[in-house]
Amino acid sequence: MKGYSILICCYNSEKRIIQTLTALLEMKKENIGAEIIIIDNCSTDSTSKVAEEFMKNKSFRYSIHSEELPGKTNAIIKGINVALFDKIVFCDDDVLLATDFLQEAEKIFLQDDRIGMVGSKGFVSDELIIPDWFQNFDIAYAVGEQWLTNGDVTLEKGYVWGAGSILRKEAWNKILEKGFKRFYTGFVGSNKEMSGEDTELCLWVIFAGFKIWYSDNLTYIHNLNQNRLNWKYLLKMNVGFARSQVYLDLIQTTMEFKSIDFFQYKKAKMKELRTELFLHFFSANYFKSLWISYIEKRPGYVITFKRNNNILRIKELIFCRKELLRISKELELAVCK
């Protein structure tokens, strides 16, 4: 059925879900089919009850579902599986979509039936107090421009972030046909949450033969909580980003070459990361930025992230080698079918 299933994955979202839903109810959708799908992913608060009370007398089609397996990727899969319409909007529980979001989306998808995933431009609320370092790291919060121009970014960028993105369900069905079984990023492992499920989904979209698109005409406000705009939280997020890069690289390499010798791949990747790390490791700026970021616990230099990412990726390759080997074998079976 043509239209948009707006997917909101929730975990303890009772304090922000009404703002998100209010923005959706204000969207213009003349002659555009739409529904709201709320996936309650193991919440311990009253998320489902609050959402139900708010939506029950509204004219907008909606449904609320529970996903008992923890992790956003499980909620995403559940939402896609119950969606009635042929395009899935990943709204997130702190994303306020613009009133013309669906109208702009229609213009994009009508251009090319091979567009599989579309990304949009995010803004922050005027009510937030923005720290001076934020402009260097706004993309970590899914805010700002994703590319220099609108259009096909399949080759130049290859991905868009999840917040405010739209998936064509035909692409998802092709992904399943290609052998997709589960996400290898975005899960909870080693007591640290990993990110990257949005980038991984884009890799699968491309592998299935579809395009990645970006448009700054599609906009939203990322309704961030003020307590997320601090250096400690950003460092924590960076650990998830760095860890996921190891898995994303393995996925992309396997898709490209269809078959890889994992042990040779790991050896080559370790050498590459060590070389890149030690070219810059023994520098005054690096140690200064580490000291400021981790010892003094205040905003340091961008170089902290660039170098520390390599350390984290090396650790992931060493300590999670069994998991990576298992994933490599699963991927080889999937992409070679």
pLDDT tens-digit readout, 163-212: 999 999 999 999 999 889 889 987 544 445 678 999 999 999 999 999 99
Pairing type for strands 4-10 and 34-40 reads: parallel
pLDDT (average), residues 313-327: 93
Query: Is the pTM higher than 0.75?
Result: yes
- Contact residues for 194 (Cβ-Cβ < 8 A; gap 6+): 185, 186, 187, 188, 240, 243, 244, 247
What gap in Å lies between CA 10 and CA 42, rounded to an integer? 8
pLDDT score of 138 more than 60: yes
Residue 190: how many CB atoms within 10 A of its CB? Answer: 11
Q: What is the pLDDT of residue 303?
A: 61
Q: What is the pLDDT of residue 32?
A: 97
Q: What is the pLDDT of residue 136?
A: 83
Q: What is the pLDDT of residue 334?
A: 84
φ/ψ region of 60 (left if φ > 0, alpha if ψ in -120 to 50, else beta) reads beta
- Closest CA relative to residue 168, chosen from 62, 67, 85: 85
Q: Say how far residue 24 (Cα) sits from the centre of its chain.
A: 20
Q: What is the pLDDT of residue 309?
A: 84
Query: What share of the chain in percent tops pLDDT 70?
Result: 90
Taking CA 326 as the corner, what is the angle to CA 321 and CA 330, rounded to the nearest 5 degrees? 145
- Per-residue pLDDT of 228-284, as tens digits, reads 998 888 888 888 888 999 999 999 999 999 889 999 999 999 999 988 877 766 666
pLDDT (average), residues 127-153: 93
What gap in Å lies between CA 169 and CA 5, rounded to an integer? 10
Q: What is the pLDDT of residue 70?
A: 87
pLDDT score of 150 more than 90: yes
Joined tokens for residue 329: 């074998």
Q: What is the pLDDT of residue 281?
A: 67
- Per-residue pLDDT of 14-46, as tens digits, reads 999 999 999 999 999 989 999 999 999 999 999
221 or 309, greater pLDDT: 221
- Closest CA relative to residue 246, chosen from 165, 148, 316, 163: 316
Longest distance between any two alpha carbons in the chain, whole Å: 63
- Per-residue pLDDT of 152-170, as tens digits, reads 999 999 999 999 999 999 9
- Closest CA relative to residue 6, chosen from 202, 217, 165: 165
Q: What is the pLDDT of residue 190?
A: 40
Bridge-partner residues for 189, per DSSP? 192
Mean per-residue pLDDT over the chain, rounded: 90
